[in-house]
Structure 1
Amino acid sequence: MATLNRLRKIFTHEGALAARIDPLAQLERSVMSCLLWESEFYEDGQTIGDRLAKLVEVIPAIDVARVAIQAKEDMRLRHVPLLLARELMRTKEGRAQAKGLFSRVILRPDDIAEFLTIYWKDNKDEPLAKQVKRWLGDSFRKFDEYQLAKYNGGQKAVKLRDALRITRPKPSDEAQAELWRKLVKGELATPDTWEVELSRGGDKKASWSRLLAENKLGGLAMLRNVRNMTKAGVADKAIRAGIRGVKAGRLLPINFIASARHNPQFEPELEAKFFECFAGREKVKGKTVILVDISGSMDAALSAKSEMTRIDVACSLAMIGRELFEKLRVFTFSNSLVEVPGRRGFALRDAITRSQPHGGTELGKAVRLLPARDRLIVITDEQSHDSVPQIKGYLINVASNQNGVGYGQWIHIDGWSDKVLDYIVKYEATNG
């Protein structure tokens, strides 16, 4: 009978014994690197989405709300926080979180429409809960005419005007009432955005040149459209100036890698902007080792429409680590352990990806072979093939797979924004 009562062992997809963790930790590991309903190397998107919904059912609503807000504000994920918000709205305890939750996860007007699309994904006839109507509708107060007009187009399942009609927020004054009337009637002024400008079908070179000269491009739009500007014949000088003027804002480190991949001639400006985003920070003292997973599963794309991979994410974090830690050595692991040259920026990315063949996931062997250090940071999808020793270190998980190995004595961190390295600094300042 004793044998029958033992907990069933669980394993990673590669076969190593995985750690058994509580539901909240499961939610965090599945959320913080999740592009909602996008399949990953080992798991399909629907499986991940279903697991998130089941976990919300058994976790206190206040904890789920905290995870949703962290995913939105720190990890800069757009859709998965909205799914968590929707699942919370199924219970009385969850609906009690609506006021604080919607104020933090609705950052753009189309977040309202996207939330309602998720809300009605399984049942188009389900009525909105009273708290959803009130606090989702209240989100409209954040946005001016330009913002509403910018996100009002496209082939969305739920239109902003429909969302306004359904939630029926009360305008605070006549000006707001008039703005909302214009939204419903389709009379908002056409915004001067790059999407609108290019959709007019005019001279693309002239359009891009004007938008650059008038600083009408946000940081992400600038980085994503460097290739389009080049194809249109925009002057290199203007493009370089546009890159130099980028404000980091909600950009992720990987955005710079993506832009540089397609625009190698502008790599010096992109790299300089990357360094600028992380300049001025006091170096963290001590001997630090960063160990980067370059196994075959890390070559998987982040989403069906993305050319970026988990390795790109890992490289971006290693690039930040080079700027953050005073004495740093970087190693990669797959079937072997390899130290890469002490380079910075995109040169470090190249050294990591070319260091060895992208094969197996022998994390345990790699950890055992590492040199002495004060701090170990492993960046991986956690799907180790061999057993991983229980030692003091940080394990950054950059995928949403159900089971992982980096628990116990390991300090486990989920996600792939620059905030994960900030967490390490704060943790050590608090815990000595």
Structure 2
Amino acid sequence: MSKFNTRKTGFDSGIIAGKLTDKAGKYTDYELLRRVTLANMLFESDYYQSADEIMKQMEDLCYKVEGEKIIELAMECRFEQKLRHTPLWLLILANEIHEVSVKEALAKIANRPDMTIDVLQMLKVRNGSYKMSKSIKKGLAKAFDNYDEYQIAKYRKSNMEVSLVDVVNLVHPKPTAKNELALKGLVEDTLKPANTWETALSQGADKKETFERMISEKSLGSLAILRNLRNMTEAGLSRNNIRTAISQVNSYWLTPLNFLSAQRNAPDYTAAIDEAMENCFAQEKIKGTTILAIDVSGSMGRVTSSNSKFSRMDLAFAMAAAGSYIFEDLILVFTAGSDAERKGKHIIWNGSKGLGLFTNYGKIALEMGGGGIFTYQLCEWLKDNGYAKDAERLVVISDSQDIDAHYGLVRKPDTSPYTSSYIIDISTHTHGIKTGNWTAEINGWSDKVFHYIKALEN
């Protein structure tokens, strides 16, 4: 059974408080496409829209955006927002709609062997078969230049109807010095399994001994470590061994949510996970004082997508945890309010930073009223209470369901006390709250959204 189905509509849409905010913010077609894609878990519905609606929006917008711009966006989806499926889908659309070559981009974006399998499955969803253009075929073949024996062995099996050997037989990649023997072994079914914990356990190895050996060898991947902390505990590994494993975590491909997931599975190791998170994300500080406002409205409590265990609020807090290490001086604000009274409520957080933010966040969100975000009122409150005067920038993390913008209350161009101000939107809803004097609206949920702010200001 394919993990990509042609229709995924089984997630009830909510009432969109900000459904009229397009009257307050004007977007180009390219900006709208960025909104729909950069925080998108492809083939999964979210609280506001079904997967079918999101994918139709994406396709309709691709007709209005130049093919080369779509390819650029696909690269950003993969390497900045660390998305896996969305950039591949964008390349398929760009190639089909605009007939542009996606060979080079596909070879770079499909930097894991299993992503070549994903492309075949997407083509099957799109066209009913694995038939592909010459450009896609050449791109998939060239992608194999990235893979070594370990990667090919690791992903040679698949739980889908096609496997890596099917891809090889379809696109005929040219062997390189580092993968010639692996490709030969893959086709002849003589390739030895990769040195992974899954392989070892499937062959009957002792779980405790396997984890201890791989920690000693430093051969466990960073994501595998974060995902297996509970397994390590249940297998009887010592606290020292588990802390050693966590100290080995260091990967470009990790997101703040990966660390939150690890902390929830192994709360006893919160301090060590926090330290690993800081090591991953605090390499470059953003100087000056930053006000970071987190939307804790009711819609933020809904799960990110139909297949996710995490809410939008989880995403926002995970990003805030990373931001507490990235911003040199941080003023953290929680904001929501009462929709019925059209009144916002805002509080300053003076508690711990990092993953410690999650200690009481459920209680805080409940006390804030559960209504939408009131962005105009938030900005006025920050000025009236003296927080704005010392801050270089304001950053708001939200799902863009702004009650103030809904009723026409927006920031005026001459009223901002900040050098720069940003909306970070973690939803895929077509229209956001790009109203008044905002420096930029940024879409996505990886740590790279903060570094984008630094790049803009430099």
TM-score by length of 2: 0.85
Counterpart for residue 8 of structure 1: none
Counterpart for residue 116 of structure 2: 112
Distance 2:70 2:242 in 1: 43
* C-alpha RMSD of the superposition: 2.2
Matched, 1:138 2:145: no
Matched, 1:122 2:126: yes
Distance 2:207 2:307 in 1: 24
Matched, 1:396 2:400: no
Matches within 5 A, 1:5-404: 13-15=17-19, 17-18=21-22, 19-91=25-97, 93-96=98-101, 98-125=102-129, 127-171=131-175, 177-285=180-288, 287-335=289-337, 336-357=345-366, 359-364=370-375, 365-371=377-383, 372=388, 373-387=391-405, 388-390=409-411, 392=416, 393-404=421-432
The answer to whether the 8 Å contact 2:68/2:100 transfers is no
Superposed CA deviations along residues 256-278 of structure 1, whole A, max 9, x for unmatched, are 11111121111111111112223
Q: Which stretch shows the higher mean deviation, 398-407 or 200-209? A: 200-209
Superposed CA deviations along residues 170-210 of structure 1, whole A, max 9, x for unmatched, are 3357x855432321222211111011122234432222222
Q: Which stretch shows the higher mean deviation, 81-90 or 150-159? A: 150-159
Alpha-carbon deviation of 1:49? 1.7
Cα gap change, 1:15 to 1:162, in 2 (>3 Å): closer
Cα gap change, 1:186 to 1:303, in 2 (>3 Å): farther
Amino acid at match of 1:95: V
The answer to whether the 8 Å contact 1:16/1:383 transfers is no
- Name the SS for the 2:63 alignment partner: helix
Counterpart for residue 5 of structure 1: none
Distance 1:123 1:170 in 2: 27
Amino acid at match of 1:129: S
Cα gap change, 1:204 to 1:375, in 2 (>3 Å): same
Q: Which stretch shows the higher mean deviation, 398-407 or 235-244? A: 398-407
Distance 1:125 1:241 in 2: 47
Distance 1:223 1:126 in 2: 35
Amino acid at match of 1:390: R
- Name the SS for the 1:122 alignment partner: helix
- Name the SS for the 1:250 alignment partner: coil
The answer to whether the 8 Å contact 1:314/1:379 transfers is yes
Cα gap change, 1:184 to 1:26, in 2 (>3 Å): same
Distance 1:164 1:356 in 2: 51
Distance 1:83 1:95 in 2: 14
* Number of equivalenced pairs: 415
- Name the SS for the 1:33 alignment partner: coil
Amino acid at match of 1:213: S
Alpha-carbon deviation of 1:412? 0.5
Superposed CA deviations along residues 143-189 of structure 1, whole A, max 9, x for unmatched, are 1222111011131232111111111233357x855432321222211
Distance 2:253 2:436 in 1: 33
Distance 1:75 1:397 in 2: 13
Distance 1:54 1:103 in 2: 25
Distance 1:15 1:95 in 2: 34
Amino acid at match of 1:348: L
Distance 1:16 1:362 in 2: 15
The answer to whether the 8 Å contact 2:17/2:372 transfers is no
Distance 1:126 1:312 in 2: 37
Cα gap change, 1:323 to 1:141, in 2 (>3 Å): closer
Alpha-carbon deviation of 1:300? 2.1
- Name the SS for the 1:121 alignment partner: helix
- Name the SS for the 1:322 alignment partner: helix
Cα gap change, 1:360 to 1:100, in 2 (>3 Å): same
- Name the SS for the 2:251 alignment partner: coil
In the alignment, structure 1 segments of 5+ residues that lack a partner are 1-10
The answer to whether the 8 Å contact 2:26/2:434 transfers is no
Amino acid at match of 1:395: I
Cα gap change, 1:408 to 1:152, in 2 (>3 Å): farther
TM-score by length of 1: 0.90
Distance 1:317 1:77 in 2: 16
Amino acid at match of 1:288: T
Identity %: 30
Q: Which stretch shows the higher mean deviation, 367-376 or 378-387? A: 367-376
Distance 1:177 1:271 in 2: 41
